A and B are shown apart, each in its own frame.
Chain A
C-alpha cells in the first residue's frame, strides 16, 4: 500500500500569518490518465472532514482562496496565506491514485 506522510504533525500559528503543511507519498501519485489524485481535507473538532483541495491544486467550491495546494509526484504542500481562527483543526492529505485509498496521519493546527 502507498504510505502517506505529513509534516509537521502539530503546527501552532499566529492569526494572520501564513502556514504550510507538507505531504509525501511512498510512490508517485500520477495516475495512468495523467491526473494526480491527491486531496486535502480539513476536520474541525467534532465535525466530519471537509474536502478543501482535489487533484493537488483545485479548490473546492466555497473554499476561501487563502488555501492553495501544490506539488507533484510524491511531494505536496497545502498553504494557508493568512490563518484565521476558523482554520483550527486537523488537516489530512489523501491519495486515491493507487489502491487502496490512503490518508496521511493528519496535521493538527492550533492558533497562538
Chain B
C-alpha cells in the first residue's frame, strides 16, 4: 500500500543541523511532487516546502528560506529535508506528504533546545 515513513528527527541545540528522510513505497515516487509540513507542539499545521517530482523546482515558506533545503533521490524513493541553523521555533513534528496531500507519513519529531 501507499506509505511514507519519516526518520531522522531528534533533539538538537540551536544553530545546529539535522537531516530528515522520508521513505516512500507503494507508488511511483518519481511521478509525484512532495511536501514537508510541520506542526509545533499543540499548534496547527504549517506548510514548509515543496519539491517537484523531478527535483527541478523547490519552494519554501519564508521562515525557512536560506536555512532548509529539500531534495530527493528518485532512485532510492526517498525525500530529504536538510535543516541548518536550527532555531527554537523550528521545534515541531515534521510530516512528509504527497503532492495533493492525500498521503502523509507518521511524522518525526524535532526539538531544538539548549
Contacts and interface: CB of A to CB of B under 8 A. Distances in A.
A60 B2 CA distance: 14
A90 B42 CA distance: 11
A39 B98 CA distance: 14
A48 B104 contact: yes
B45 interface: yes
B109 to A, nearest CB: 12
B32 interface: no
Contact of B47 (A41, A90, A102): A102
Given A48-B95, A48-B107, A103 B102 contact: no
A89 interface: no
A100 B105 contact: no
Interface residues of A, number: 22
Interface residues of B, number: 16
Contacts of B107: 48
B55 to A, nearest CB: 19
Contact of A92 (B44, B61, B102): B44
B101 A39 contact: yes
A96 B107 CA distance: 21
A103 B61 CA distance: 13
A48 B101 contact: no
B44 A105 contact: yes
B44 A101 contact: no
Contacts of B105: 48
B89 interface: no
A60 B100 CA distance: 12
A69 interface: no
A51 B109 CA distance: 21
A49 B47 contact: no
Contacts of B95: 48-49
Given A99-B59, A100-B61, A51 B102 contact: yes
Given A47-B106, A92-B45, 5 more contacts: A48-B105, A51-B102, A94-B101, A101-B47, A103-B44
